[in-house]
Structure 1
Amino acid sequence: MKVPYSWLREYCAPDVSLQELEQLLTISGTKVEAIHAHGVGGEGANFVIGKVLSCGKHPDADRLNVTTVDVGHGEEPQQIVCGAPNVAAGQTVAVARPGAIMPDGTKLKKAKLRGVESNGMILSEDELGLAGERAGGIMVLEDELAAGTPLADVLPILDAVIEFEITPNRPDCLGVYGLAREVHAATGAPLAPPPWTEDPGTSGYVPGAHVRVEAPDLCPRFTARVFENVTIAPSPRWLKARLLAAGLRPISNVVDITNYAMLLTGHPLHAFDLDKVAGGELTVRRARDGEQVETLDGQTRTLDSEMLVIEDADGPTSIAGVMGGARSEVSDDTTRVLMEVASWVGPNIHRTSNKLGLRSEASSRFSDGLAPEQAMEAQAVATQLMIELTGATVAGGTIDAGPFATDPWPNATIRLRESKVAALLGLVIPRAKQKATLTALGFSVEDAPDGLDVTVPPFRRNDVTREADLVEEVGRFALDQLPATLPKRRGTAGRMSSEQRMRRRAVDALVGRGAYEIVGWSFTEPGVADKLRLPEGDPRRSFVALQNPMSEDHSVLRTTVLGSLLDAVRHNVARGNADLTLLESGAVYVARPEETLPHEHRSLGAVVHGRLSAPSWGDSGQPKTADFFSAKGLLAATLDTLRVQWSVRAEPQPFLHPGRSATVVAGPDDEVVGWVGELHPLVARAWELDGTVAAFEVDLDAVVAHAVAVPRYEDLTSFPPVRQDLAVIVADDVSADTVLGAVEKAGGKLLQGVRVFDVYRGEQVGEGRKSMALALTFQAPDRTLSDDDVAPVRAKVVAALSSVGGELRG
């Protein structure tokens, strides 16, 4: 929130520098994000009041005038060329001198216009950004202003502007007076009475206007006043300057009044043209599913039954708490205004704003939760300005509808014990100091036997609900006094669980093999299922939809980490980094109809793209690139590190290459724990990737359940192994895993290992067949094996190979 410093000082003017004030506010929790030294207008010292002494036509340009202007400070009058048609001798004007930085960032210099020297510029409202929608010629100011007076003293547009970062729990600080209250508490400077203390309006019946609240659970209070004889015109310069400095665009006096009152009180307002309110009656109700409203920005919004609308006899005119409708907006022809200041339930406004993708100053404030009492504060300020700036008269009293109007909410009283303050802060703060701080913040305080009885003001109702909150209020203005102590460490030492250590070990195994770990979004879009070619009924299409998504691209919880890994690959490849290995360990979520909560587990995935090593002069050929075996190698490194008993089956996945993919099983019961393979070309194309992409993903929780956390010690034998090779011919569709499984089962305890070291296809073995060369290692822990020991085991192995259709070659 941006606030002109001069506006803040109208209500609390501390005797400290702006930099000191920034430190005091920030350390007390009201963070100053930035200080803009001269608002929109640039270097304030070069903007001054001038007196036009003479004005004549330019000798070579019909539309230009040559003027001499008194700029004060005892200087010679300056010659300035001006193109405005309304410039004349005797006027008091705003002058930008050479060196001034204009709102668009241009630095003004001495210039020659059609051969005539010009030492500055006579300013229009438009050139200072004050014109809004009503641009004109130069500004003509009051004659009593002296030449040389800094323009910043006249227009706060050139004043210092403080930008605050307000946390969502402090909507009271979204108003200038709320910030002045913080300045008062931080500095002790006097606080002026609230600007709503004097209310020109009255209570009672309002002729010609009616309000009905049909959703009292979402609209606690709806207030309205009617103004007649309204004259629509530009706002005075001081008002436009303050709005512009605060980041709002001036439009007209009535609209500007609603924005000004909102900035001052923190509570949004909305002005209806009462003559455009059909039937003179407004109804607050829930919208109907599919109902549409055209808002002030010219867009048509489609609503649902959880949203609120304000309607008249012809239908909806506004989306409650978010934005007004185009049909009843104030225009140049407006003469009667209905000023609405209502209170809405914050979470509902937050949902509506996000669902529609429509964020406004009003919705931002309502979403944080405003007190119903604040509605009449804004109404009082708006009434004062409507009478003063538009010449309006108040017709009747005040409409006050909704449950709060008949049954106001009580203010909670909380006991603040001195012992609790000392215990939580580690510092004894005198009771008198506590009382002074809380009183300055707007709390009502009474002495109690062991501390204070504190009544929470309405504007802090949602934020301060317990004793600890009051301790925080007291403590944040004494942060510089808090002792620096270390917390007690007794009983606080922690360690990772066995499962956490195993997960960490799996990630470290991949990092040790050159993979880079990424952290992707847990959110994704439903369309990722189609990009992965997942069929209907696949559990990975069972997304959990978010009730309050950040965007359509992050509207559901992911069911696989493959999507975020491929997003990262695409991002890198698009920026010239095509050779990479990435891993991610994170939660995935699958909706199950029979369960209320989604099934959540931790997944571990890795993806390989491009070359596996950098090209080198020592390579005889091109470096190897990603393929099935590179992904399987990473999988093996991970599972072997965890000492998991695992294998793969040739079972395809819809998003993988049908001939280069497999399912991963683990444990003695062959539980399916994941997949490995090369990405299907159509899936790779969906992520704008060329070439082969290999990946694997496993259910890390299931893998860890099969891991050996503490390996058993086995004696190392000193007896040498016996190696024997054999070649077996099998059908081409028999996998190596099937052959090795049969050999391992038949080999018994003496067979220590078996591996494939060669595969041959050709005329010697026949079409549709292949020869696999196996290396078998036999070893005993208590003796050196002889051929007689190995022969029977070898015979069992040969017999087992026959069971899978294999025969010895040669």
Structure 2
Amino acid sequence: MKSAYSWLREYSAPDITLDEFEERLTLTGTKVEAITRFGVPAPDGLVVGKVLTCGKHPDADRLNVTTVDVGDGGEPQQIVCGAPNVAAGQTVAVARPGSVLPDGTRLKKAKLRGVESNGMILSEDEVGLASDRAGGIMVLDDALTAGTPLVDVLPIMDDVIEFEITPNRPDCLGVYGLAREIHAATGAPLAPAPWADDPGSAGYVPGAHVRIDAPDLCPRFTARVFENVTIGPSPRWLKQRLLAAGIRPISNVVDITNYAMLLSGHPLHAFDLDKVAGGELTIRRARDGEQVETLDGQTRTLDSDMLVIDDADGPTSIAGVMGGARSEVGDDTTRVLMEAATWIGPNIHRTSNLLQLRSEASSRFGDGLAPEQAMEAQIVATKLMLELTGAQLVGGTIDVGPFAKEPWPDATLRLRAARVAGLLGLSISRERQTETLTALGFGVAAADDGLDVTVPGFRRYDVTREADLVEEVGRFDLDKLPATLPKRRGTAGRMSLEQRLRRRAVDALIGRGAYEIVGWSFTDRGVADRLRLPEGDPRRRFVALQNPMSEDHSVLRTTVLGSLLDAARHNIARGNADLRLIEQGAIYVAQEGETLPHEHRALGAVLTGRLVAPSWGDAGAPKTADFFAAKGLLAATLDTLRVDWSVREKAEPFLHPGRSAEVLVHAGTEDEQLVGWVGEIHPLVAREWEIEGTVAAFEVDLDAVVAHAVGVPYFQDLTTFPPVRQDLAVIVEDAVAADDVLAAVRGAGGKLLRGVRVFDVYRGAQVGEGRKSLALALTFQAPDRTLSDEDVAPARGKIVDALASQVGGELRG
């Protein structure tokens, strides 16, 4: 909600600075989001001028050369002007050289087609009083004196306050509602409400009729008829206030509806009564598939839960959202039906969301407005119609609906003094409570243990219980509330074991140079095709969003790989191709026959480009991302969590064949669980994300990994006895995986075997075609003695036998 500060001060003008105003209002809950300057940055150099002469430019048909008296006691100034309506004898607004215009332009002396120009004759848009310059230059009152500062005669500059209004306070979406808050917060007097006196009356309105067929959705509909309406531009003061609030002026009647809405907080709509077929409006539910063309020129298709305003030719407006093009006010309008109605908020909110049509009206009605406010807005609009359009009010007022028949009673709540002290921790006197509540528009009466408080209609949906009243009296004395620590009672904050283990896994990757990203949990269904997932793959079972932000974010993701590749593409497109990106986040897989999806936390990584920055000391090209780099990062994570794990060759549809594996964790010798995959992304898949070169990645079920992690490590004494290393070269078939060879060694090595690793691979004539030689480094160590070759020999023999029997291996050499 934006408002010119001068407009607010017409109703409550505190004697404080703007900084104090911002602090005080924000402290009471009516947050001041920003204070900006509207109009010209500075008034210096902007004055009233008198056009003495006006003639055509010698070298330009569209320019005029004028002499203007600017009141400085010197010679009249020559000014070249391109406006078609400039003429001798006019009183105009002039910007002298050196002045600054709203767009920041500093005016200088200039030559236009060879003719010197010492200033500018201004149009309304050039001082911030219009959104375009279609009307040419401003022509001012002839009674003004040349040289008078323009700021003294026109609203060309003002401070604009932008408030952040919470959805429970639609009463603060009006200037007078904000003034009421200022009055309560600062003690400044509050002017009478602008609807306190009504130039209209109740009674029959000839030539117009309204019928409500959906009273459950329309509590009140008020309307007044005006004849002999003259359509034209609004006065400059009204334009200034609309523009300061971010609303473009259109014509006096349309501007009146917007002005009355900004002042009262309640939207209105003006119908051209001559375009209302049959002179009757009906409020009804729309029919499924029914269409209406709205003021923005779009045709909207409705359903039976939406509300329309109908005439004899069909729907003319979408109730509470936007008026229809068929009955809008135009330049030829002479009869106006002014409508101010109240609609049920949740229905308007639903309609606006389904149609993806947001308007000032739908935003306000969606928050819930009181039926009493409709008549307040109607009174404000009536005054302005009579004052600014030359119209005559015909008859009385149409006022129909359940509220018109039987107004809703105001609720009365008991506010106990003990309850106030108990909730706030501060005793607020009954006099102070009465003062605050009265200033806010509540009715207050004394009671034995406190106050009986009558809630006004405009706070009906917000204040419904005693605690709400305590909040009202407390928020204006927040600076007096004592600072106390809450009772802890064993609520010491700390992460759970699972949270600490997840943090440890991520920290292990960050410590190795990876950057953590946070991607969208939403994606599109096309990601399954880009990943080449086959039909029936669980990762194709998406959970669809009921109200997606866009087609690209219409389902919940089933893998973090998509968002990691999105981030990689974004970085590579901007010149950053050497990447180590990681992400942990929830993924969701729909389950057949179940309402809720399966949800778990995944941890993934993507590597592209060089692993180490090039240096002058490198002998060759730096190593780039590949399967083993991704496996190394995976090992860093799983080893940090002390998980017993292994990989086994297996292809995924989006991974490079022969350069991919599944990841297993082990709870015992026979118990293993599949938790993820690791490998190089298939080049065709990488191309879908516009990535060239090798892309390596892994993804694991982090919840399953954490479940197998060692949360509390146990102390194990480090032996001081030296290890014994022995190397072993074993020849196996090419199809035998190195991991199977290592598993055979570990199973046969016994307690003395502390470790085994592959340190070389050989293929060639010495081992024969289709075979390979794996060089193994075996480490033996005992906790209580130094081992000899005789101690190690039995274990080595068992290892050789196991290699022969389990993987068909034979010793080389």
TM-score, structure 1 as length reference: 0.91
Provide closer, same or farther for how the CA distance between residues 703 and 86 of structure 1 changes in structure 2, counting only shifts above 3 A: closer
Q: Say what the alpha-carbon RMSD is for the aligned residues.
A: 3.1
Q: Secondary structure at the match of 1:162?
A: strand
Deviation at 1:808, TM superposition (A): 0.2
Q: Give the one of 801, 805, 808 matched to 1:806.
A: 808
In structure 1, the partner of 2:3 is 3
CA distance in 2, matches of 1:180, 1:311: 37
AA partner of residue 271 (structure 1):
A
CA distance in 1, matches of 2:535, 2:210: 51
The C-alpha deviation readout for 1:553-573, integer Å capped at 9, x for no partner, is 333333222222222222222
In structure 2, the partner of 1:592 is 591
Provide closer, same or farther for how the CA distance between residues 804 and 219 of structure 1 changes in structure 2, counting only shifts above 3 A: farther
Structure 1 unaligned regions, length at least 5: none
AA partner of residue 532 (structure 1):
L
In structure 2, the partner of 1:628 is 627
Provide closer, same or farther for how the CA distance between residues 290 and 623 of structure 1 changes in structure 2, counting only shifts above 3 A: farther
In structure 2, the partner of 1:480 is 479
The C-alpha deviation readout for 1:251-295, integer Å capped at 9, x for no partner, is 112211111111111122222223333444444455556554433
CA distance in 1, matches of 2:288, 2:652: 40
Question: 1:349 touches 1:367 (CA, 8 Å); kept in 2?
Answer: yes
Question: 2:217 touches 2:343 (CA, 8 Å); kept in 1?
Answer: yes
CA distance in 2, matches of 1:218, 1:672: 56
How many residues are matched? 808
In structure 2, the partner of 1:24 is 24
Q: Give the one of 747, 770, 784 matched to 2:772.
A: 770
AA partner of residue 433 (structure 2):
Q
CA distance in 2, matches of 1:694, 1:164: 50
| Stretch of structure 1 that moved more, 664-673 or 24-33 | 24-33
The C-alpha deviation readout for 1:701-754, integer Å capped at 9, x for no partner, is 111111111233334445554444333333323322223223323334343332
In structure 2, the partner of 1:684 is 686
Provide closer, same or farther for how the CA distance between residues 113 and 634 of structure 1 changes in structure 2, counting only shifts above 3 A: closer
The C-alpha deviation readout for 1:399-446, integer Å capped at 9, x for no partner, is 445444445444333333333433444443322122112211122222
Question: 1:726 touches 1:808 (CA, 8 Å); kept in 2?
Answer: no
Deviation at 1:396, TM superposition (A): 4.4
Question: 1:742 touches 1:801 (CA, 8 Å); kept in 2?
Answer: yes
The C-alpha deviation readout for 1:290-313, integer Å capped at 9, x for no partner, is 554433222334455554444444
Deviation at 1:35, TM superposition (A): 3.1
Q: Secondary structure at the match of 1:44?
A: coil
Deviation at 1:152, TM superposition (A): 3.3
In structure 2, the partner of 1:508 is 507
Q: Secondary structure at the match of 1:739?
A: helix
CA distance in 1, matches of 2:203, 2:455: 29
CA distance in 2, matches of 1:111, 1:723: 91
- Percent identical among aligned pairs is 80
The C-alpha deviation readout for 1:200-234, integer Å capped at 9, x for no partner, is 34445545544455555544444333333333222
Question: 2:524 touches 2:554 (CA, 8 Å); kept in 1?
Answer: yes
CA distance in 2, matches of 1:407, 1:770: 95
1:373-522 equivalence runs, <5 A:
373-406=372-405, 408-487=407-486, 491-522=490-521
Deviation at 1:8, TM superposition (A): 1.8
In structure 2, the partner of 1:705 is 707
| Stretch of structure 1 that moved more, 83-92 or 522-531 | 83-92
In structure 1, the partner of 2:742 is 740
| Stretch of structure 1 that moved more, 61-70 or 144-153 | 61-70
Question: 2:321 touches 2:361 (CA, 8 Å); kept in 1?
Answer: yes
Question: 2:585 touches 2:601 (CA, 8 Å); kept in 1?
Answer: yes
Q: Secondary structure at the match of 1:159?
A: strand
Q: Secondary structure at the match of 1:740?
A: helix
Q: Secondary structure at the match of 1:140?
A: coil
Question: 1:731 touches 1:769 (CA, 8 Å); kept in 2?
Answer: yes
Question: 2:611 touches 2:624 (CA, 8 Å); kept in 1?
Answer: yes
1:184-333 equivalence runs, <5 A:
184-287=183-286, 291-303=290-302, 307-333=306-332
Question: 2:125 touches 2:132 (CA, 8 Å); kept in 1?
Answer: no
In structure 2, the partner of 1:98 is 97
CA distance in 2, matches of 1:369, 1:344: 8
CA distance in 2, matches of 1:287, 1:654: 50
| Stretch of structure 1 that moved more, 596-605 or 643-652 | 596-605
TM-score, structure 2 as length reference: 0.91
CA distance in 1, matches of 2:304, 2:764: 71
AA partner of residue 697 (structure 1):
E
CA distance in 1, matches of 2:681, 2:529: 14
Deviation at 1:382, TM superposition (A): 1.6
The C-alpha deviation readout for 1:729-784, integer Å capped at 9, x for no partner, is 33323322223223323334343332222222233333333222333334444566
CA distance in 2, matches of 1:404, 1:730: 91
CA distance in 2, matches of 1:85, 1:579: 62
Deviation at 1:551, TM superposition (A): 3.6
CA distance in 1, matches of 2:241, 2:809: 93
CA distance in 2, matches of 1:388, 1:274: 20
Question: 2:560 touches 2:604 (CA, 8 Å); kept in 1?
Answer: yes
Provide closer, same or farther for how the CA distance between residues 627 and 113 of structure 1 changes in structure 2, counting only shifts above 3 A: closer
Question: 2:80 touches 2:112 (CA, 8 Å); kept in 1?
Answer: yes
AA partner of residue 808 (structure 1):
E
Q: Secondary structure at the match of 2:476?
A: coil
Question: 1:427 touches 1:482 (CA, 8 Å); kept in 2?
Answer: yes
Q: Secondary structure at the match of 2:576?
A: coil
In structure 2, the partner of 1:601 is 600
Question: 1:293 touches 1:302 (CA, 8 Å); kept in 2?
Answer: yes
Provide closer, same or farther for how the CA distance between residues 285 and 806 of structure 1 changes in structure 2, counting only shifts above 3 A: farther
Q: Secondary structure at the match of 1:694?
A: strand
Question: 1:71 touches 1:147 (CA, 8 Å); kept in 2?
Answer: yes
AA partner of residue 13 (structure 1):
A
In structure 1, the partner of 2:162 is 163
AA partner of residue 437 (structure 2):
L
Provide closer, same or farther for how the CA distance between residues 711 and 128 of structure 1 changes in structure 2, counting only shifts above 3 A: closer
CA distance in 2, matches of 1:468, 1:136: 55
Provide closer, same or farther for how the CA distance between residues 771 and 311 of structure 1 changes in structure 2, counting only shifts above 3 A: farther
The C-alpha deviation readout for 1:655-678, integer Å capped at 9, x for no partner, is 222322222121332222122111
CA distance in 1, matches of 2:3, 2:125: 21
Q: Secondary structure at the match of 1:428?
A: coil
AA partner of residue 5 (structure 1):
Y
Provide closer, same or farther for how the CA distance between residues 34 and 781 of structure 1 changes in structure 2, counting only shifts above 3 A: closer
Deviation at 1:106, TM superposition (A): 2.2
In structure 1, the partner of 2:614 is 615
2:675 counterpart of 1:673? yes
Deviation at 1:500, TM superposition (A): 1.5
CA distance in 1, matches of 2:552, 2:354: 14
Q: Secondary structure at the match of 2:377?
A: helix
Question: 1:101 touches 1:108 (CA, 8 Å); kept in 2?
Answer: yes
Question: 2:413 touches 2:452 (CA, 8 Å); kept in 1?
Answer: yes
Provide closer, same or farther for how the CA distance between residues 633 and 4 of structure 1 changes in structure 2, counting only shifts above 3 A: same
AA partner of residue 13 (structure 2):
A
| Stretch of structure 1 that moved more, 419-428 or 331-340 | 419-428
Deviation at 1:627, TM superposition (A): 0.9
Provide closer, same or farther for how the CA distance between residues 402 and 579 of structure 1 changes in structure 2, counting only shifts above 3 A: farther
Provide closer, same or farther for how the CA distance between residues 214 and 781 of structure 1 changes in structure 2, counting only shifts above 3 A: farther
In structure 2, the partner of 1:13 is 13
Deviation at 1:625, TM superposition (A): 0.8
Deviation at 1:612, TM superposition (A): 0.9
Structure 2 unaligned regions, length at least 5: none
AA partner of residue 57 (structure 1):
G
In structure 1, the partner of 2:34 is 34
In structure 1, the partner of 2:55 is 57
| Stretch of structure 1 that moved more, 170-179 or 151-160 | 151-160
Deviation at 1:684, TM superposition (A): 1.8
Question: 1:205 touches 1:397 (CA, 8 Å); kept in 2?
Answer: yes
CA distance in 1, matches of 2:310, 2:650: 60
In structure 2, the partner of 1:339 is 338
